[in-house]
Amino acid sequence: MLKKRIVGVITIKNGWAVQSFGYGRYLPLGRPETIATNLDRWGVDEVLVQCIDRYETGPDFALLESLCSQGLSTPLVYSGGILTTAHAVSAIQSGADRVCVDSLLHEAPSRVMDISAHLGAQGVIACLPLSIGEHGVMWLDHRMRINRPLDPVVMAALREGAISEALVIDWKSEGILNSFDGRLLLIEELAGIPIIAFGGLSKVDTMRSALSTPNVTAIAQGNFLNYREHAVQALRNTLAGSPIRIAHYAASPL
Amino acid sequence: MKSITVGIVDYGVGNLNSVHHALRTLGFRSLIGSDPKTLDTADLLLLPGVGAFPTAMKALDRLHLTDYLRATARAGRPILGICLGMQLLADASTEHEHTIGLGLIPGQVRALSLAARHIGWNDIIPNCHDPLFHHAYHKQHCTVYFNHSFVLDTKREYCIFTAQASEPIVAVVRKDMTVGFQFHPEKSQDAGHRLLSDVIKGLYHA
């Protein structure tokens, strides 16, 4: 049967991988290529590279080409500065297997549909940084630094399959141990939509709970996978019994 | 010993460099091209692909590769299709509109019927024995990465492996010297690389 996935997230600012705390405070980690190579070697299910400062300059194709030249054997998802169909197609041609869109969902959802028509819905993920407050579920437009309700047009695209999955980010908890708000996975608007859960997911019980939620297809971790060697295999062993792949260790040469 | 050269067919669709790097890692030579003269120098042709079936077939037509690939298969040269590249080997697809394919593997491509898509890692299950895949038969689990929303319906005799999702999915097909992978072997870590290596070597020596 189809396994639920563990996604390794690399957050990139000014070309460097950074440790991010709520997308507001950053500490440098090192070269993205090194971290991607480690995640690949440790057998993560997908690598998500999110470049958080590319709105003005467009996607970082040079980084994608550099990552691709590492010979990664793990699927690569790219996020950052994708504003047109040409951007998305070029990202795939530069080495990404899927793209994740964020600002474009706020500004021109119709363009996301065009990207989906070119790449296929399976190639497109919607990034939804969410929080639950006194006004209910709010969707962060991080570029404008405002919260707004979820857009019915975007939710319809997800529900009808024009976008394959929603990357649901508990952005307030991102980078903070054991802080993921599990209520985000149960909100009515997301019913039936495939979800990648991200942001403060570090506690085993919370991860198990997320993986047992029917429409959660993946959990994602950023900083927490960078603290020790073979972090992905250790996580898989910790989550044994969940519907995930068993730990993978690099094989001897073929 | 002579290195096997794989010709990656470039028709403007997909992530060719990932396949190129995987082949190099596995010790094969590879070239990327859309010119038949260039592709003729390869021992085996690899048809990758990401995107929609009609767009891909139009691109192959525009580059005069449709007839070339059909003639290549008729001549008994090996061809390997990956993901959309496997679907292009079929007779036709209903993606967006009815579109004629390369017709190298009898069958039709249609949308998944019970789920919108099949994304992630899944086990492949042997459907019949084929010596090309001898390593995969000996593994308890052979888990590979899928990312698609359309599937190939073909005769049982051409279906080498299936995957079980919301419905049975044809994961590997073979007819003579033409093989198709619905999954991405280049992005399936050691399991995918081993399958890719076995098939290329097996077809070359067949």
**In this predicted complex, what is the ipTM?**
0.93
- Report A:25-64 residues touching B (Cβ under 8 A): 40, 43, 45
The b/e string for A142-164 (b: 16+ C-beta within 10 A; e otherwise) is beeeebeebeeebbebbbebbbb
B53 in reach of chain A (CB within 8 A): no
Nearest CA in chain B to A158: B116
The rounded distance, in Å, linking the Cα atoms of A184 and A150 is 12
Spatial strand order of the sheet with B29-33 comes to B29-33, B5-9, B44-47, B79-82, B178-181, B168-175, B159-164, B118-126, B143-148
pLDDT in tens, B95-154: 989 999 999 999 999 999 877 899 999 999 999 888 888 777 777 679 999 999 999 999
Name the DSSP class of B42. S
* Residue entry with tokens 């449709």: B66
Residues of B acting as catalytic residues: 83, 184, 186
Mean pLDDT to the nearest integer, B34-48: 97
Question: Taking the domains of chain B in order of start, what are their residue ranges?
Answer: 5-205
Residue pair A127/A80 in contact (Cβ under 8 Å)? The answer is no
Site from B50, B144, B167 to mutate, A interface, most A CB atoms within 10 angstroms: B50
Residue A223 located in a structural domain: yes
Q: What is the pLDDT of residue A24?
A: 82
Mean pLDDT to the nearest integer, B87-97: 95
Residue A246 located in a structural domain: no
User: What is the domain-level CATH number for residue A197?
Assistant: 3.20.20.70
The rounded distance, in Å, linking the Cα atoms of A146 and B6 is 51
Residue A140 located in a structural domain: yes
Cβ pair B143:A245 closer than 8 A: yes
- Please give chain A's pLDDT, 254 residues, in tens: 899 999 999 999 999 999 988 778 899 999 999 999 999 999 999 999 999 999 999 999 999 999 999 999 999 999 999 999 999 999 999 999 999 999 999 999 999 999 998 888 999 999 999 999 888 999 999 888 899 999 999 999 999 888 999 999 999 888 788 889 999 999 999 999 999 999 999 889 999 999 999 999 999 999 888 778 889 999 999 999 999 998 877 665 55
**B82 pLDDT tier (thresholds 50, 70, 90):** very high
B136: enclosing H helix or E strand: helix B134-137
B182 in reach of chain A (CB within 8 A): no
Tokens representing A34?
């090194």
Closest Cα to residue A87, out of A70, A106, A104? A104
Nearest CA in chain B to A161: B116
Q: Name every chain B residue with its beta carbon within 8 A of the beta carbon of A161.
A: 116-117, 149
B26 in reach of chain A (CB within 8 A): yes
The rounded distance, in Å, linking the Cα atoms of B179 and B176 is 8
Assigned fold of B5-205? Rossmann fold (3.40.50)
Residue pair A18/A30 in contact (Cβ under 8 Å)? The answer is no
Q: A222: phi > 0 → left, psi -120 to 50 → alpha, else beta; which?
A: alpha
Cβ-Cβ contacts under 8 Å between A and B: the total is 120
Residue A62 located in a structural domain: yes
Closest Cα to residue B90, out of B78, B104, B77, B70? B104
Please give the tally of structural domains in chain A: 1
Residue pair A112/A104 in contact (Cβ under 8 Å)? The answer is yes
B123: β partners: B143
Q: Is the pLDDT of residue B11 over 60?
A: yes
The neighbour count for residue A53, using CB atoms within 10 Å, is: 13
Q: What is the pLDDT of residue B129?
A: 87
Cβ pair B149:A68 closer than 8 A: no
Q: Name every chain A residue with its beta carbon within 8 A of the beta carbon of B55.
A: 118
Residue A254 located in a structural domain: no
- Domain extent at residue A216: 5-238
Closest Cα to residue A163, out of A103, A123, A106? A123
Residue A37 located in a structural domain: yes
Q: What is the pLDDT of residue A253?
A: 52
Residue A147 located in a structural domain: yes
Residue A249 located in a structural domain: no
How far is residue B62 from each of residues A86, A133, B15, B120, measured CA to CA in Å? 20, 54, 19, 33
**B45 pLDDT tier (thresholds 50, 70, 90):** very high
The rounded distance, in Å, linking the Cα atoms of B183 and A254 is 20
Q: What is the pLDDT of residue B193?
A: 95
